[in-house]
């Protein structure tokens, strides 16, 4: 599991108890379904149980971009996304997803018992959201495609705690997430392979000397 997950330090039994405590509602979405529109007037947050979801942005001229993606254990919601009236934002299922929704107000106001599992989740949500935001800013601040790729790969290695891992999204979606041209990114990946920095087969990456 991703080391930056709100499920860390929480057992499945504790999470099931927490869903009851917080009146969580579980829903299923098919690939490409809209999970949440940020124009909706709701303060609920979602936790990914299965699958991957994208935070997408649509600009004034109709261009769509991937702002973030959410794996198992990640949290999303209108309150954790950009507050901007220029672009439209929405959450879309990148593949079949299972999402548990909680009321933000219910989450922020601990139950009467102030249970330990509730406090763990609150702490994990804060830390997860902060880390993911700073990670993406750090990646996008790199000026070259090589720099963005290398920084991203190092972050994924840290998250997965392994030198060998599967990139969670397709290479086309990764190029969108890194805000680079896909063809140029693929050329850079081939150069990194030729220089024996990484080994790559599809989305499977093995770090050799990076």
The confidence score (pLDDT) of residue 202 equals 84
Residues above pLDDT 90, as percent of the chain: 43
Residue-wise pLDDT tens digits, 11-22: 667 666 666 666
The confidence score (pLDDT) of residue 41 equals 60
Helices 116-140 & 145-160 angle (0-180, nearest 10): 160
C-alpha distances in angstroms, 146 versus 62, 73, 156?
28, 29, 15
In the chain, what are the domains? Answer: 12-126 (2.60.120.10), 142-207 (1.10.10.10)
Element (H, E) at 53: strand 53-58
In angstroms, the CA 80 to CA 35 distance is: 15
In angstroms, the CA 75 to CA 12 distance is: 16
The confidence score (pLDDT) of residue 1 equals 47
Residue-wise pLDDT tens digits, 104-127: 777 766 555 556 666 666 777 767
Give the predicted TM-score (pTM) of the model: 0.80
Task: Check residue 74 and report its DSSP letter.
Answer: -
Would you say residue 24 has pLDDT above 50? yes
Would you say residue 81 has pLDDT above 80? no
Secondary structure of 1-43 as H, E, C letters: CCCCCCCCCCCHHHHHHHHHHCCCEEEEECCCCEEEECCCCCC
Q: What is the DSSP string of 87-120?
A: SEEEEEESSSEEEEEEEHHHHHS--TT--HHHHH
- Residue pair 8/125 in contact (Cβ under 8 Å)? The answer is no
Residue-wise pLDDT tens digits, 130-164: 788 888 899 999 999 999 999 999 999 988 889 99
């Amino acid at each position: 599991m991703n080391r930056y997950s709100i499920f860390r330090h929480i057992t499945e039994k504790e999470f099931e108890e927490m869903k009851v405590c917080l009146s969580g509602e579980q829903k299923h979405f098919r690939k490409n379904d809209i999970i949440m529109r940020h124009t909706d007037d709701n303060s609920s947050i979602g936790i990914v149980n299965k699958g991957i979801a994208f935070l997408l942005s649509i600009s004034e001229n109709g261009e769509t971009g991937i702002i973030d993606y959410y794996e198992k254990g990640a949290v999303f919601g209108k309150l954790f996304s950009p507050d901007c009236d220029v672009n439209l934002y929405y959450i879309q299922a990148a593949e079949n997803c299972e999402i548990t929704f909680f009321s933000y107000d219910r989450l922020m106001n601990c139950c009467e018992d102030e249970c330990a599992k509730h406090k763990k989740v609150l702490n994990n949500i804060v830390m997860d959201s902060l880390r993911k935001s700073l990670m993406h800013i750090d990646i996008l601040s790199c000026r070259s495609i090589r720099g963005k790729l290398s920084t991203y790969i190092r972050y994924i290695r840290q998250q997965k705690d392994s030198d060998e891992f599967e990139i969670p999204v397709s290479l086309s979606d990764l190029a969108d997430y890194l805000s680079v041209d896909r063809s140029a990114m693929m050329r850079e990946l081939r150069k990194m392979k030729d220089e024996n920095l990484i080994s790559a087969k599809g989305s499977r990456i093995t770090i050799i000397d990076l």
